[in-house]
Amino acid sequence: MSIFDRFSLKGRVALVTGGGRGLGFEIARAFTEAGAHVVLTGRTAATLDSAVATIAKSGGSAEAATFDIADVTAGRAAIADIRQTCGRLDILVNNVGARDRRPLAAFGDDDILELIRTDLLSAISLSRDAAEIMKAQGHGRLIAVTSIVGEMARPGDAIYPAAKQGLTGLMRSMAVEYGAHGVTSNAIAPGMFATETNAALAENPDMLSFARQRVPLQRWGRPEEIAGAALFLASDAATFVNGHVLTVDGGMSVQM
């Protein structure tokens, strides 16, 4: 097998949460270009249908599963449906991440629980159920999209970093628990990416100046620049990579 063949995902089935747009869509599109069948999740059917259509036009194979990732019951049902219809699940990408930028004192208990439920609890539940399928296969890839703010913090953004650090801890625990079964667990920590969600920030002159000062590459990341990291971790090129956080931030987190 050549090194290029090791990046093939032919015959694999992947689930990408939040796959209708932004980083999730670029990850899903890369997987389909490498030969995988991808199930995209999200809350908005129209967004998912558009993403599936875009992938199909390029010859890729994808389908949509519309549900709120914070609904654990719906998530479990989606995993069960994939198992029944596809017969396997090789890759899970926990990509969804809601953000609520407020100081800690501004959060009520219900607000905290809502954010943790979306950003962390959903990933725990989906990973648990997906890992059982992967263990039976003797092969699987669990990938968490965390954030550089899982290791760094800024004022007025209290709960999101806590949830992302929890996701990193989950990834490491799963790396230890499932490694013997041929299932690897890794994470991608993105920095500043100009996704649809961040479009206004990315176009703000002050934030452009901030990027030039704080990011050694002196710019925001383009969404498609996340794809290579995800494809690597999902592929047979990363068979001995387990429990690792791959930072994709243009060098922001290493510059003093």
**Catalytic sites, residue numbers:** 160
Taking alpha carbons only, the member of 193, 183, 182, 255 closest to residue 222 is 193
Six token digits for residue 74: 């719906």
Quote the CA–CA distance of 204 and 211 in Å, as a whole number: 11
Specify the amino acid at residue 22. G
Does residue 94 contact residue 163 with C-beta atoms inside 8 Å?
Answer: no
For residues 65 and 51, what is the distance between their CA atoms, to the nearest angstrom?
12
Q: Number of C-alpha atoms within 13 angstroms, CB side, residue 226? A: 31
- Residue type, position 203, single letter: E
